[in-house]
Amino acid sequence: MSTEPHEDDAKVARPASTQPDAAELEASLRALPPRYEPNALLRWLYRRFFDRIEVDPAWTEMVRQAAARGTVVYALRNLSLLDFLALDHLTKRYGLPQVRFANNLGLWILEPFGKGVQHALRPRRREDDVEDLRAAVTRGESAAVFLKRPPTVLAGSATGRGLLEGDDFLHELVELQRRRTAGGDTRPIIVVPQLFVWTKRPDTRQRSIVDAVLGTREWPGAVRTAGQFLLNYRDVTVRAGEPLDLRQFLVNEDQEAETGRAATDVVVRRVVYLLLKRLERERRVIVGPVVKASDRIVEEIVRTPRVRKVIDELAGEGARERFIVEARARSMLREMAAAMEPDVIKAFGSLMEAIFHRIYDGLEIDMPGIERVREAARKGTVILLPSHKSHVDYLLVSYVLWRNAITPPLIAAGDNLTFFPMGPIFRRAGAFFIRRSIGTDRLYSAVLDAYVHKIVREGYSIEFFLEGGRSRTGKLLAPKLGLLGMVVDAAYELPSRTVYFVPISIGYERVVEAKSYVRELSGGEKEGESVTGLVRALRVLAERYGRLNLQFGEILTLDRIRSDVEATATRGGGASAFVPKRAIVARLGHQITYEINRATAVTGGSLVALSLLTHPGRGVPHSVLERTCARLLATLDHLGARVQPSVRGEGGGPSLRAITDALALFVSAGWVEVHDEEGAVEEASPLFRPFGRSRKKAIEQDDAPEPVYVVPDEKRLSVDLSKNVIIHFFVPYALICTALLVAPGPATRRALLRERVQRLSRLFKFEFMFRADATYDEIFDRTLADLSAQGTLVASAPGGSQEGEEALIDVAAGEEARALVSLYAATIASFLEGYRVVARTLSMLLKQPKGVAQKDLIKRAISVGKRMALAGEVTRREGICRPVLENAVSAFLDQGYLAKSEGKLVLPASFATISAVKAIESRVASYLSTGAQVLASAVPEAE
Amino acid sequence: MAKTGERALSFWGWGWADKFPDDDARRGIAVQVAALLGFDGLVPHAPPTLESAKVPTPRVSVPEALGAFCTNDREQRIRHTYGRSYRDLVRGFSGDFSPAPDLVAHPRDEDDVALLLQWAAATKIAVVPYGGGTSVCGGVEADFGASGGRYHGTVSLDMTRLDRVLEVDRTSRAARIQAGAKGPQLEAQLAEHGLTLRHFPQSFEFSTLGGWLATRAGGHYATLYTHIDDLVESMRMVTPTGIWESRRLPASGAGPAPDRLVLGSEGIFGVITEAWMRVQQRPRYRASASVHFGGRVQGGANDEAISYARAVDATRAIAQAGLHPTNCRLLDAREAALNFVTGPENQEGSHVLILGFESADHACDAWIDRAVAIAASHGGVVPRGVVKKDDGAKTEGAGAASTWKAAFLEAPYLQSVLVSLGAVVDTFETACTWDAFPKLHAEVHRAVTEAMKEQCGGGRLSCRFTHVYPDGPAPYYTFIAPSRAGMQLEHWWAIKRAASDALMRCGATITHHHAVGRLHRPWYERERPDTFARVLRAAKNEVDPASIMNPGVLIE
C-alpha cells in the first residue's frame, strides 16, 4: 500500500467541525484507487465508438444535479466491462463525476503494464475492494457498483438468474451514509441506477445454442457484448433510472423500523431490490416485454378458461368436433397475432425517415409528452390511442417511440391490411389484425378477447384507433368501444398493474389520402387495399404534404375515470353507487376523444383552411386572410389550444411564413388559385411563393394590388379536411353566435338564446363531440361568460343585472366584435347547409310511402345539393359531403322528422305533408339567413 | 407408400427409378436422338439426389389428431412436390423443390379424408389432392400464385392407400372402385372376376382412377369411349362441406348430370373417393393392322404433305364409317420414326395409321377388313398384313402396332432422359373439327417451328392422332429442340406459349385429355364462356367456402 497522498486529496472538502471516526480516518489515509487511464490506442478506439453514442441531455443533467447535491455512485446491473468502459468514457467526456472504483473487473487485462497491474499481481480479496470503495466515496469521489455477476455453470445457471454481487458494496455505502449523517455531514450518497442498452432486441424465453455459448442477451458474455456493441453502437441507449438518495432512504427506513433504526442487512436488501427494479423498468421501457414463441402464445390462449368454455360449447361431446373447433381457434389466432421483429421496426424506421423527409416538411413532436409516456411505461402498461386520419398513422407512432428509445407498441389493424406482401411485413412491425366485422362468430370474439388479455398481461404497449377507421372529414369520429372494453376488462383483471391510456393527436396539414377521401365523400365507393393501390400510392412520394405533428394529451387511468364517473353520478344527488363497467368504458372513450381534440395542435394549414372557408365572398384578398388568421389564432390562444411552434410569428400572432407555406401547399395541390393584380389565375406551381422578393417588397410598400386567393368550388371539400382538424375548438362559440344571429338578430334574451343553442346542439349531436363531464347548462353559461370576458358579447339587463335569464345578449360594440361573431358563426355554416340539403331532399319521401333506403336518400341528397349549389342556395360545397348528410339523417331521426320502418326511412304521419317538409327545411335555414348578412357587412372591403 | 413393393419410383422423373439409364446409355441415346433429329450438343447431366434437393422447412406441424396418417417427412414432401410436366422434370432435375407441400397425408379411409378437409378448412390450409402425381399441367403443385398468402400451409392429399375394388356387380357389369387404385392394381383385382376396365392412358402404370376422373383422362379407346367419362356410372366425392354422391344409373335425363360437374373438376370441389365404373369382359378376339401412307413413292417436294393429306382423309373416312375401331392412331412420319415403328421393309418417311379392333364376343375380321379397305382406297398399304387373333395367344408380331404399344408406354421415360440431356421436349394435345384441322395443323406447325428456331435454333415437331371422332380428330403434338441447362424453361415456355396461342387462334381446345391444371389456365380462360366461369366459381364457393381445395386450378 502506497502512502503517498494522491494529488486529488487536496480537493476533498471535509466539514471541519466533524470528528472522523477510526474507520473513516483509515479510509482517508488509504490511497485512492487509480483512475482508469487507457493507453493511446485504446483511447482512440473508445473515442471511435463511444463518441457515437447518442446521449440524452436529460441524463447528463440529472447526473449533474445529483453530483451537486452529494456523492454520486453509479449502480449498474450486470458485471460488464463494456458498460464500465462506456460509462468511464462518457463521464470523462461530459465532465460528470468520474469513476474511481468499480468492483471486480479485472481491468489489468487491458493494461498489462499500467498501474492496474500492481493490483493484479497481488491476489485481491473482497475486503480490498470494499476498502477501495470506502476510500473513494469517503473523499467524495464517484464509484460504479455492479449489482450482479453472471450465472456460471457451477452456480445459478439453472435458474438463469445472476448472483448477487453488489451486496457487500452497498452494505459499505449504507454504513458510510450512516456515518456521514451521524457526523453531521448533510451531503447524501446518491445512487444512480445506470443503464446501457446495447440491443433493443427483446429477450426471448427460448434458449438457443448461441445463448449457451455466448451468454443470453440478458446475460451477454464478453464476445456477445462486443458483438452486440459492434452491430448496434450507433443505436445504443444510455439511460438512468430514478436516483436513490441514500440519506433520505435511511431516514424513512429508520422511521418505519420499530427500533428506530433499521437493520443494515435489511436496508441493503431493499436498496438492491429497489435499484434492480428501477433498472429493469428502465430496460423494459426500451426493449419491451420478454418475447414468447408465437406457438406458445397461441397454445396459452387456446387453453384459457374463457376460450376453453366457448370451444366446449361449440364442439359438444365429440373429440373430432373439438379438434376442428380448436384448429379454427388456432387459425384465427395465427391470422390475428402480431410477430414483432426489431429488425423490421428498424428497417421501417429508416424507410420512414426517408419518406418523411421526402414528403413532409418536418415532424414536430411534443417532447414533454414523450417523457410522460416514458414515465407511464416505467410504471405500468401503456395503451396508445392516436387519432386516425391516414394510413401513415399506423407507422408514425411506432417510429416516434422507437426513435425515442421507448419500445414500440403492438398495433391493432383491420384485416383489410393483410394483403400480400404488406400483411406479413406489418405483422412483423407489430400489427395484429382484427376482422372489420366480428359478426356473430362467438369463437372469434372469445379468441380476440383472450388475445387482448394476453398481450396486456404480457406487458406490451398496445396502439389502436378509437375511431375504428380513418376519419374522412378531418373531424374525430365517435369512439368505438369494443376493443377499448376488452382492454379495460383486462386491466380490471390485473389490479396490481396500472394501465395508462394515452390520447394522441396526429396532425397533418394535407392528408395523403385526400383525393380518395373526397371521392368517397362526394358519393364514390371506397377502394379495397391492395398491392396495386400501394403502387399507385407511390405517386404520393412526388408531392409535399406540409408538416406533421404528434401531440400527447393528458394520460388517463381507470381510477381517475372511475372517480370522475362517481363524482358525476353523486352530483346529481344520487348516492355513490356501483358504477357499471360499461359506463366506465363509455366515459373513458369520450374522455380520450376529448383529450385528443384538446391536444390537437393548430397548424398553419388548418388555420389558413379555416380562414379561406369561412370567408363569405368568392376570393380572399391576402390582407383579409392574414387578419382572419390572426383573429382565429387569438381565439385559439384564449382557448388554450396547442399551437405548432412554427405557426407563431415574432409578435405572437401567426407568422407570415406559416401562412405562405400553407398557401404554397394548397396551391401546389391545386386547391387554391392565386389571382394576380389583373385577376388572372397564376400558374400553379409547387414553387409558388405568394411573396416573391419583388412582390413582398411591393406589398410592404403598399403600392401594389395584393393577390386574391380563390378556392375552386370542387376543391372546397379537400380544404375542408384540413379545416375540420381544428373546428372543434370553435364549435361552442359557433353555436352561440349562430343562435344569436338568427333573425331578427341580436339582442336576444339569455333564456331564448339558451333554448336556441340547446336545439342547435341537439341537431348537431351526431356531428360534434360535446364534453361528457359537464351538463349542458354549465357549458352554456361558461361559454357565454367566456365570450363576454373576451369582449365579443355583452349582456345588458333592463334591471341592471347582467346575470339573469332576462338579460339581453348582444354583440359588443365595434368592428372587431362583429367580425368575430360572424367568423365564429361561419365556422359551422357549411354543416347547416348540408343539413338543409337533406331537409330539402326529404320531399322525395312524400312520393315513396314505403320508404327509401338511407343509401338512396343520401345519393339523392348529393344530387339535390349539387343543384342547390348551382342555384346559389348553397354556397359552401363542403357541406354536401356524405358523412355530414348521414349525420343529418341521424339527427332528423333523433328529432322525429324521420322514422324508420323495416329498415327504410319514412316520414312520420305528422310530417308527411309538403308544408311540414318545407317547415323542416326552413327551421334549419333560419340559422343561416341573417348570419350571412351580418357577416357580409362585417367584412371590410379590400383596399 | 411411394414405393411399390421393392421397386422405387424416381423422385424427380418419370416412373421407376431403375429405368433411368446410366451415363453411358444416356450418351448412346444422345447420339441416337441427335442422328434422328439432326441436331447435337446433347450432353448427359448428372441426375439429382434426394440428399441434395432443396426443400423449405415445413410451415405447419402435424396435428396430433392427424398424426396417424399425416407426415412432414422430407422425402415424402419432395415426392409430392411436382407432377410430371416438362417444367416439373426440369425443376426436379435441378433439385429445386421449393413449392413442396408442408404435409403429406395418406388417408386410410373416407373418414380420414373428411377430417383432414375440415381441419384444413378451419385452419386455412390448402389441400392438393394427389393420385399418381402424373399431371402434366401443374395440377398437383402447391403453387398458388398471388393468392398464396391466404394459406398458412399446404397439404398434399395422397389417395393411394385407398386402392381396393370394393364391390362387383356382375349382372350390370359394374364395379365399385376406390379412387386411389392405380391402373395395374385395379386391373389385377378386376381380373380375378374376369373383368377389365380397359382404360389405358400413357400413365396407366402410375396414375389412379380418381386422377383419371378428376381430369377427364383419355384412354385406350381411340373412338367411342374415348374419355373416362364414358366409363363411369356414379361417383362419390368428399367436399369440405359434405359428401357428394350420385345415383347409379345407366343414363338419365333428369337435369344437368351431377357427375358432369365432378368429372374434370380437378379437385376444386373436393376429393373423389370412389366410383362405380362400367367394366367389361376381357377381349378374346383382336385384329390389328398398320397402314403406311406415302413416303417417297412418287418423288417430288410436296410428297410428304400430299401423302399426309391422304392419310388424314383415310382416317376421317374410317372415323365416319361407324366401325368404331379400338385403335385408330395416325402417326405422321416424324412421330413414327421417333417411336421406332418404321421398319426396314417399309419406306422411310411414311405416315402410319395403326388400326385395331377387339371384342369379347365376336371376331373382328369384317371390321378390320373394311377399315383396311377404306385406307387402301386412299393409297395406304399394309406391308405386314392384317393380324387377327383369337383369345389366349399373345398378340405377337403385330408389326408396328405392338412396337407402338411398347413405345407408347416408354415415351415418358424418354422425355425424362431428354431432360437430363438438356433438351426441350414436350407434348401438347388438342381437338378440332375435320374442317378446321388443315388450317390448325399448318398454323401450329408454323408457330412452333418459328418459336423453336428463335429460341433454340431449330427443333422437330411431330404429330399423331390419339383419338378420332366422326366430326374431328384429337391431334397430339410432340416437340423436341436442343437447349442448354439454365435456359430450358425459358425456351420451353416460349414454345409452349406460341403453340397454345396458335390453338386458341384456330378455335381448337387447349386440351383434349391432359386437363387444365395451373399451366393451361390462361388459355382455358379464353376458351370457356365467362358466364360459365361465374357458375363454376359460385359452385366452388358453395361446397368449399374456405377455398382450400386445390386453389389456382381451373379458376383463380
CB–CB contact A324 B122 (8 Å): yes
Give pLDDT, residue A536: 63
From residue B106, alpha-carbon distances to B83, B158, B265, B497 in Å are: 17, 5, 21, 36
Residue from A321, A322, A323 to probe the interface with B (highest B Cβ count within 10 Å): A323
Give pLDDT tens digits for B183-211: 999 999 999 999 999 999 999 999 999 99
Cα(A574)–Cα(B198) distance, integer angstroms: 91
Q: At what angle do helices A829-841 and A854-870 cross, to 10 degrees?
A: 110
Closest-CA distance of chain B to residue A331, Å: 5
The per-residue pLDDT for range A380-390, each reduced to its tens digit, is: 999 999 999 98
Q: How confident is the model at residue A361 (pLDDT cuts 50, 70, 90)?
A: confident
pLDDT tens figures, A480-495: 998 999 999 999 999 8
Residues of chain A contacting B112 with CB distance shorter than 8 Å: none
pLDDT confidence band for A684 (50 / 70 / 90): very low
Give per-residue pLDDT as tens, B425-442: 999 999 999 999 999 999
Sign of CA dihedral A852, A854, A856, A861: positive
* Chain B residue closest in CA terms to A319: B65
* All three cell numbers of A392: 401513415
Cell of A689: 411563393
Q: What is the pLDDT of residue A942?
A: 37
The values of phi and psi at residue A197, to 5°, are -110, 110
- Mean pLDDT lowest for which of A114-123, A247-256, A508-517, B342-351? A114-123
Q: Where residue B539 falls among pLDDT bands split at 50, 70, 90?
A: very high
Residue type present at position A595? E
| Contact present, B92 and B82 (Cβ < 8 Å) | yes
Q: What does the pLDDT read at residue A213?
A: 60
List, as own/partner pairs, every contact residues A899-907 make where C-beta atoms lie below 8 angstroms and the sequence separation is at least 24, other chains included.
A901/A851, A902/A851, A903/A853, A904/A850, A904/A851, A904/A852, A904/A853, A904/A854, A905/A845, A905/A851, A905/A852, A905/A853, A905/A854, A905/A857, A906/A845, A906/A848, A906/A849, A906/A850, A906/A851, A906/A852, A907/A842, A907/A845, A907/A846
Q: How far is A925 from chain B (nearest CA, A)?
A: 51
For residue A460, the 8-state DSSP code is -
Asked if the Cβ–Cβ distance from A423 to B148 is below 8 Å, we say no
**pLDDT at res. A686:** 42
Collect all residues of chain A within an 8 Å Cβ-Cβ radius of residue B115: 320, 323-324
Length of chain A: 943
Question: How large is the average pLDDT for residues B316-344?
Answer: 85
Residues 328-347 of A with CB under 8 A from B: 328, 330-331, 334-335
Contact status, residue A862 vs residue A841, Cβ threshold 8 Å: no
- Whether residue A320 and residue B65 make contact (CB cut-off 8 A), yes or no, is yes
**Interface residue of B69, B109, B118 to substitute, partner A, most A CBs within 10 Å:** B118
**More reliable by pLDDT, A356 or A86:** A86
Contacts of B146 in chain A (CB under 8 A): 420
DSSP-derived secondary structure letter, B212: H
Radius of gyration, CA atoms only, chain B = 23
Task: Report chain B's terminal Cα–Cα distance, integer Å.
Answer: 31
Chain B within 8 Å of A544 (Cβ-Cβ)? Answer: no
Q: Among A230-234, A605-609, B47-51, B217-221, whose mean pLDDT is lowest?
A: A230-234
Q: Does A914 touch chain B (CB under 8 A)?
A: no
Pairwise pLDDT comparison (B275 vs B485), residue with the higher score: B275
The per-residue pLDDT of chain B, averaged, comes to 90
State the count of interchain CB pairs (< 8 A) between A and B. 35
For residue A331, give the nearest of B115, B123, B149 by CB distance: B123
Model pLDDT, residue A798: 66
Residues A583-596: tens digit of each pLDDT: 899 999 999 999 99
pLDDT at A930: 52
Which residues are paired to B237 by β-bridges?
B244, B272
Q: How confident is the model at residue B516 (pLDDT cuts 50, 70, 90)?
A: very high
Give the C-alpha separation, A871 to B521, whole Å.
56
- Nearest CA-CA partner of B235 in B211, B208, B213, B212: B213
Own/partner pairs for B457-462, CB < 8 Å, 24+ apart? Answer: B457/B482, B458/B38, B458/B39, B458/B482, B459/B37, B459/B39, B459/B424, B459/B495, B460/B37, B460/B38, B460/B334, B461/B334, B462/B331, B462/B332, B462/B333, B462/B334, B462/B335, B462/B338
CB-nearest to B122 from A328, A418, A421 is A328
Cα torsion through B307, B311, B317, B321, rounded to 10 = 150
What per-residue confidence (pLDDT) applies to B86? 95
Average pLDDT, integer, range A701-723 = 83
Confidence check: pLDDT of B521 > 90 = yes
pLDDT-based confidence at residue A937 (cuts at 50, 70, 90): very low
Q: Tell me what percent of the residues of chain A surpass a pLDDT of 70.
A: 81
Kindly indicate the confidence band of residue A530, based on its pLDDT and cuts at 50, 70 and 90. low
Phi-psi region of B73 (alpha: psi -120 to 50; beta: other; left: phi over 0): beta
Q: Is residue A316's pLDDT more than 90?
A: no
- Distance, in Å, from the CA atom of B526 to the CA atom of B431, rounded to the nearest integer, reads 16
Closest residue to A323, CB basis, from B65, B124, B146 = B65
* Percent of residues, chain A, with pLDDT higher than 90: 31
Cα distance between the two ends of chain A: 91
For residue B546, pLDDT over 90 is answered with yes
Yes or no, beta carbons of A331 and B152 under 8 Å apart: yes
Residue B550 contacts residue B154 (beta carbons within 8 Å): no
DSSP SS3 for A900: strand
Out of A175-189, A297-311, B258-272, give the one with best mean pLDDT. Answer: B258-272
pLDDT attached to residue B403: 65
Cβ–Cβ below 8 Å for A327 and B122: yes
Q: Which of residues 671-730 of A touch B (CB under 8 A)?
A: none
Residues of chain A neighbouring B119 (CB-CB closer than 8 A): 323-324, 327
pLDDT tens-digit profile of B288-320? 999 998 755 555 555 788 889 999 999 999 999
Distance from CA of B119 to the nearest CA of A (A): 5
Q: What is the mean pLDDT of chain A?
A: 82
CA-wise closest residue to B311 among B293, B287, B331: B293
Neighbours of A304 (CB within 10 A): 16
What is the Cα–Cα distance from A382 to A365, expressed in whole angstroms?
18
B149 contacts A424? CB cut-off 8 A:
yes
CB A241 within 8 A of CB A281: yes
Whether B115 and A320 lie within 8 Å, measured CB to CB: yes
pLDDT of residue A6: 46
C-alpha cell at B22: 446410366
List the A793-796 sheet strands across, edge first. Answer: A748-749, A808-811, A793-796
Of A274 and A163, the one with more pLDDT? A274
The confidence score (pLDDT) of residue A733 equals 95
pLDDT tens, A753-774? Answer: 999 999 999 999 999 988 877 8
Do the chains contact at A328 and B123, CB–CB below 8 Å?
yes
Plot region of A561 (φ>0 → left; ψ -120 to 50 → alpha; else → beta): alpha
DSSP for residue A805: T
Which pLDDT score is estimated for B341? 60
Q: Is the model's pLDDT at B166 over the cut of 90?
A: yes
pLDDT of residue A31: 66
Contact A327 B123 (CB under 8 A): yes
Chain A residue numbers with beta carbons less than 8 Å from the beta carbon of B123 are: 327-328, 330-331, 334
Residues in chain B with CB shorter than 8 Å from the CB of A331 are 122-124, 152
Q: Which of B119, B149, B150 sits opposite A324 (nearest CB)?
A: B119
Does the distance separating the beta carbons of B148 and A323 come in below 8 Å?
A: no
DSSP labels, A183-236? TT--PPEEEEEEEEES--PPPBSS--HHHHHH--SSS--HHHHHHHHHHHGGG-
Please check whether residue A419 touches B, CB under 8 A.
yes
Asked if B303 and B351 touch (Cβ cutoff 8 Å), the reply is no
Confidence of residue A500 (pLDDT cuts 50, 70, 90): very high
Residue A630 CB: number of other CB atoms within 10 A? 18
The yes-or-no verdict on residue A1 having pLDDT over 80 is: no
Q: How far is B122 from chain A (nearest CA, A)?
A: 4
Q: For chain B, what percent of residues have pLDDT higher than 90?
A: 71
CB-based contact (8 Å) between A415 and chain B?
no
Round to whole Å and give the CA distance between B429 and A29.
Answer: 103
List chain A residues with CB under 8 Å of B149. Answer: 418-421, 423-424
B interface test, pick of A294, A295, A320, A529 with most B CB neighbours within 10 Å:
A320
In the predicted model, what is the mean pLDDT of residues A244-263? 85
Does residue A700 register a pLDDT over 60? no
- Confirm whether pTM is higher than 0.80: no
Are A138 and A28 contacting, i.e. CB atoms less than 8 angstroms apart?
Answer: yes
CA distance A713 to A619: 11
For B122, the closest chain A residue by CA position comes to: A328
Considering only CB atoms, B122 lies closest to which of A331, A421, A423, namely: A331
Residue B424's pLDDT is what?
A: 92
Instruction: Grade residue B478 by pLDDT with cuts at 50, 70 and 90.
Output: very high
Distance from CA of B348 to the nearest CA of A (A): 58
Q: Per residue in A630-664, pLDDT tens? A: 999 999 999 999 998 888 888 888 988 888 888 88
Considering only alpha carbons, which residue of chain A is nearest residue B146? Answer: A420
Minimal Cα distance from A324: which residue of B? B119
B118 → chain A, closest CA residue: A324
* B483-511 tens-digit pLDDT: 877 889 999 999 999 999 999 999 999 99
Q: How far is A444 from chain B (nearest CA, A)?
A: 12
Residues A209/A215/A216/A220 CA torsion (nearest 10 deg) = -150
Q: Spell out where A593-667 has E strands.
A: 601-602, 619-621, 642-643
Please check whether residue B263 is in contact with residue B229, taking contact to mean a CB–CB distance below 8 angstroms: yes
**How far is it, in rounded angstroms, from Cα B125 to Cα B150?**
9
Question: How far apart are the C-alpha atoms of A10 and A3, rounded to whole Å?
Answer: 15
Question: Could you report the per-residue pLDDT of A721-743, keeping only the tens digit for each?
Answer: 999 999 999 999 999 999 998 87
Residue in B119, B146, B150 nearest the CB of A327: B119
